[in-house]
Amino acid sequence: MNRLTLMSIITAALACPSAALAENIHVATPNTSLVLDATAGQPLKFLYYGNHLAAADLANIGTIGDAVFNAYPVYGLWPEKEAAMSAVHADGNMTLDMAVTGVSSSTEADGAQVTTVTMTDKVYPFNVDVNYRTYPDSDVIETWTVTSHDEKKPVTLTRFMSGYLPIRRSDVHVSQLYGSWANEGKVEEAPLPHNLKVIKNKDGVRNSHTAHAEVMMSLDGKGREDEGRVIGAALCYGGNYKLMFDTDDSNHHHFFAGINEENSEYHLKKGERFATPPLALTYSEEGLGGASRNFHKWGRNHRLANGNKLRKVLLNSWEGVYFDINEAGMTQMMSDIADMGGELFVMDDGWFGVKYPRKNDSSSLGDWSVDTTKLPNGIKGLCHTADSLGIRFGIWIEPEMSNSISELYEKHPEYILKAVNRDPVMGRGGTQLVLDMANPAVQDLVFNVVDTLMTKYPEIDYIKWDANAPVMNHGSQYQKPENQSHLYIGYHDGLEKTLQRIRAKYPDLTIQACASGGGRANWGILPYFDEFWVSDNTDALQRIYMQWGTSYFFPAVAMASHISASPNHQTNRIVPLKFRTDVAMSGRLGMEIQPKDMSAEDKEQTRKAIADYKAVRPVVQQGDLYRLLSPYDGKGAASLMYVSPEKDDAVFYWWKTEQFVNQQLPRVTMKGLDPDRLYTVTELNRVDNTPLPFEGKTFSGRYLMSNGLELPLSHNVDWHKRNDYASRVLRLQAK
Ligand code: DGJ
């Protein structure tokens, strides 16, 4: 135990009636405290997580009469309780009995402090390090474990959660995200039921279409945006996960989060280390909004690739041309987006395949050579065109996948996931197959897809990395028969290793995580990606709901949000350009449309919107989010705003979600402004014939936060332009 460095974190050696010296560890951020009792020879105990403790509270926290639970409960002795870990020793013993044998701390390169408590089984040479890393700038604490042993034969890990937290019963409500393809990120809130509530994923490849690996726990009844105690938890893992609330006969709910152990028991060899992914925790007394802002800050500063850099305004070719890629078409799209002020063009699916050209989704994945019948001057030619237009060029790939109709599969059928003695089950297009990322040869292959593109075409500025299949076959041709249960964990280990290599070589490349839309919105994968595609559904109205939910855990800079065609390709809804733009501008603005089908007037409106977005981009992408009026409350409108950290600039969004004549809508009060500063209001994306009455006027932050501004129910436009939508984007600049 490194006692000197520990002095800063061990804040109290408490007067403990027992003979053992109680060592309380205070894992602290400016506004939060997590307190553990790491008495040597005893299991690690959890004492407290919540608001930052004063010295007096800290000294007495173990004496308040609350039940004390193990901080990392293991299975075996008193096995009737849920546990964070279970294991079968080499001799068949299914019990663990862990006690603290050491505590150490270190400071990481980014200034984060890591505290490690080592527990060792009282009989077996089996160790679990329970780690806590603090992020003072955002009040986030990450916890994870590293397990190792010195037993003669492998130990089988049958459960391996990243962390556990007892939550005192009161009226705890849990907000979670749920959905499905094209309907991701919907918010659902409910009180905790008795017995078990499980949130899980078993897709194998992607993990955020249906449920999400993050939750908000509002401790005092239904979650409120600005008040109330909230614990936010985000499991940072790209693979199968399980979040579990066990409400037993005690006064506590028991929260566990980690890799989903189902069909994934792990045979840990002597000397091998099994690290679980971090579980990020935050605590706020500023309600859901406070917890979200903490996650956003932590994400931007520490987890999202290039989280503090501004993202470019782009046009993606998918909904504009789908697979119909050709040089003239790409050139026209590039020229159109450049003309509207965009900064980047992304060529989506359909550009590759020589022996088997990619005409639709039934062939060619894995054959990442350009189809010169479609693109005679290749990617080089497109990069030149982009350069001459003053924009950057990006490209789509789906490197973890193949099709049965592909040169890759013909050469390497052993690379795919498939159960022995069975034909492979195939996905999209009837032929899609998933490569076995656990196989180092596949890792090299996937690394080389990116490396070859980047070496041949260093001009490439952006990669859209897609993943359109789950694990459809439980079978790894790489793993030994006895390790078939390592498939899911091995896949994500291999993927992460590959992404680490890519990021080490190409740190500045912008990479989007797309996975049939929003399948990869997770903090485990985002250290390697700059952003994610929120959903394949680009319908502006539905996006309000999806982006609202997604914003619980993810910042706007990571949320790709595109203006698309009307009628919308997913919902067939007819939505005016103004509304589509006003929604897309609340995330990382892009376009996903055939610009040649836009009228000159629409193009001009978009040109202006892009220019305005560039002006407010630092506030949207790096500012603090305040959610003002939830679309889920059914009040007929939704509203949110971003405020710069200096509180000198803000962007306010308001979208009507329903249209009824003479309906009464609430006036939305603003948040996050400096009450004592004066803000001048400018409407962005104005389509009305007359300005709003308060256009160019100045109001105090106090007035805006107490009263808001009165917004008309509709737009004052010529008759032929009237429609059933209304929305506003207001910029507020401090004097
Ligand atoms: C699924 C993605 O979500 C879409 O945006 C698009 O890239 C297609 N794949 C291409 O096949």
CA distances from 482 to 266, 475, 638 (A): 10, 11, 53
**What's residue 570's pLDDT?**
98
Structural domain contains residue 261: yes
In this predicted structure, the answer to whether residue 218 has a pLDDT above a threshold of 60 is yes
Q: Is 117 exposed, middle or buried (0-12, 13-18, 19+ CB in 10 A)?
A: buried
Question: Average pLDDT, stretch 508-521?
Answer: 98
Q: Which domain holds residue 230?
A: 2-303
**What's residue 108's pLDDT?**
85
pLDDT > 70: what percent of the chain? 97
User: What's the CA-to-centroid distance between 466 and ligand 1, angstroms?
Assistant: 7
Question: Average pLDDT, stretch 443-464?
Answer: 98
In this predicted structure, the answer to whether residue 4 has a pLDDT above a threshold of 50 is no
| 279, 234 Cβ separation under 8 angstroms | yes
- Site to substitute for ligand 1 among 209, 349, 401, 561, most atoms within 8 A of C-beta: 349
CA-to-CA distance for 334 and 245, rounded, in angstroms?
A: 50
In this predicted structure, the answer to whether residue 564 has a pLDDT above a threshold of 90 is yes
Residue 721, domain CATH: 2.60.40.1180
**What's residue 2's pLDDT?**
37
Output phi, psi for 261, to 5 deg: -80, -5
Domain boundary among 251, 286, 303: 303
Tally of domains in the chain: 2
Structural domain contains residue 423: no
**What's residue 110's pLDDT?**
74
Question: What are residue 329's DSSP bridge partners?
Answer: none
Mean pLDDT, the chain, integer: 96
| Helix (H) / strand (E) containing 456 | helix 440-456
Question: Average pLDDT, stretch 694-702?
Answer: 98
| Helix (H) / strand (E) containing 29 | strand 24-29
**Which residue owns the Cα nearest ligand 1 atom 9?**
516
Residue 265 Cβ inside 6 Å of ligand 1? The answer reads no
**DSSP-assigned states of every residue in 343-394:** -EEEE-S-SB-SSS--SSTTS-TT--SB-TTT-TTHHHHHHHHHHHHT-EEE
Residue 626 Cβ inside 6 Å of ligand 1? The answer reads no
**What's residue 20's pLDDT?**
43
- Nearest 5°: the CA angle 204, 210, 216 is 110
| 501, 490 Cβ separation under 8 angstroms | no
Residue 134 Cβ inside 6 Å of ligand 1? The answer reads no
Residue 516 Cβ inside 6 Å of ligand 1? The answer reads yes
| pLDDT tens readout for residues 239-275 | 999 999 999 999 999 999 999 999 999 999 999 999 9
**What's residue 111's pLDDT?**
74
| 417, 492 Cβ separation under 8 angstroms | no
Residue 517 Cβ inside 6 Å of ligand 1? The answer reads yes
Which of 90, 103, 73, 76 lies closest to 150, judged by CA? 90
Residue 396 Cβ inside 6 Å of ligand 1? The answer reads yes
* Ligand 1 atom at minimum distance from 348 CA: 7
Residue 466 Cβ inside 6 Å of ligand 1? The answer reads yes
**What's residue 22's pLDDT?**
59
Residue 491 Cβ inside 6 Å of ligand 1? The answer reads no
Domain boundary among 275, 303, 331: 303
Question: Residue type for 367, please?
Answer: D
Residue 248, domain CATH: 2.70.98.60
In this predicted structure, the answer to whether residue 18 has a pLDDT above a threshold of 80 is no
User: What's the CA-to-centroid distance between 348 and ligand 1, angstroms?
Assistant: 7
Structural domain contains residue 63: yes
Question: Average pLDDT, stretch 414-433?
Answer: 98
Residue 63 pLDDT class (50, 70, 90 cuts) = confident
| pLDDT tens readout for residues 311-368 | 999 999 999 999 999 999 999 999 999 999 999 999 999 999 999 999 999 999 999 9
In this predicted structure, the answer to whether residue 53 has a pLDDT above a threshold of 70 is yes
Structural domain contains residue 632: yes
User: What's the CA-to-centroid distance between 598 and ligand 1, angstroms?
Assistant: 22
Q: What is the Cα 415 distance to its own chain's centre? A: 29
Structural domain contains residue 493: no
**DSSP-assigned states of every residue in 170-226:** SB-EEEEEE--TTS--EEEEEEPPSEEEEEE---SS---SSEEEEEEEESBSS--SS
**Which residue owns the Cα nearest ligand 1 atom 11?**
349
Q: What is the Cα 279 distance to its own chain's centre? A: 13
| 185, 179 Cβ separation under 8 angstroms | yes
Structural domain contains residue 682: yes
Residue 432 Cβ inside 6 Å of ligand 1? The answer reads no
Residue 318 Cβ inside 6 Å of ligand 1? The answer reads yes
| pLDDT tens readout for residues 625-680 | 999 999 999 999 999 999 999 999 999 999 999 999 999 999 999 999 999 999 99
User: What's the CA-to-centroid distance between 338 and ligand 1, angstroms?
Assistant: 23
Structural domain contains residue 462: no
Structural domain contains residue 356: no
Which of 447, 430, 450, 440 lies closest to 476, judged by CA? 440
- Site to substitute for ligand 1 among 462, 465, 466, most atoms within 8 A of C-beta: 466
User: What's the CA-to-centroid distance between 464 and ligand 1, angstroms?
Assistant: 9
| 725, 578 Cβ separation under 8 angstroms | yes
CA-to-CA distance for 491 and 10, rounded, in angstroms?
A: 39
Domain boundary among 303, 320, 348: 303
pLDDT > 90: what percent of the chain? 95
234 is written with which tokens? 């985000």
CA-to-CA distance for 461 and 458, rounded, in angstroms?
A: 8
CA-to-CA distance for 247 and 264, rounded, in angstroms?
A: 25
Residue 531 pLDDT class (50, 70, 90 cuts) = very high
In this predicted structure, the answer to whether residue 604 has a pLDDT above a threshold of 90 is yes
For residue 303, the 8-state DSSP code is: I
CA-to-CA distance for 103 and 26, rounded, in angstroms?
A: 12
Residue 403 Cβ inside 6 Å of ligand 1? The answer reads no
CA-to-CA distance for 488 and 479, rounded, in angstroms?
A: 11
| 88, 62 Cβ separation under 8 angstroms | no
**Which residue owns the Cα nearest ligand 1 atom 2?**
516
In this predicted structure, the answer to whether residue 430 has a pLDDT above a threshold of 90 is yes
Question: Average pLDDT, stretch 66-75?
Answer: 95
